[in-house]
Amino acid sequence: MNPNTILLVEDNPDDELLTLRAFERGGIANPIVVVRDGIEALDYLFARGAFAGRTAGAPLLVLLDLKLPRLGGLEVLRAVRADPVCGTVLVLVLTSSRDDSDIARAYELGANGYVQKPVEFDDFVRVTRAIGTYWLMTNVPPQVGP
CA distance 95 to 63: 9
Q: How far is the CB of 142 from other proteins (least distance, A)?
A: 31
**Interface residue list for other proteins (CB under 8 A):** 12, 14-15, 18, 21, 96-100, 117-122, 124
Which one, 118 or 141, has the nearer CB to other proteins?
Answer: 118
Q: How far is the CB of 31 from other proteins (least distance, A)?
A: 22
Which one, 35 or 66, has the nearer CB to other proteins?
Answer: 66
Which one, 1 or 115, has the nearer CB to other proteins?
Answer: 115
Which one, 99 or 108, has the nearer CB to other proteins?
Answer: 99
Q: How far is the CB of 102 from other proteins (least distance, A)?
A: 10
- Chain-centre distance of CA 120, in angstroms? 20
Which one, 108 or 122, has the nearer CB to other proteins?
Answer: 122
Q: How far is the CB of 98 from other proteins (least distance, A)?
A: 7
State the virtual CA torsion across 75, 23, 32, 90 in degrees, nearest 10: -40
Q: How far is the CB of 4 from other proteins (least distance, A)?
A: 25
What's the order of all strands across the beta sheet hosting 91-95?
32-35, 6-9, 61-64, 91-95, 113-116
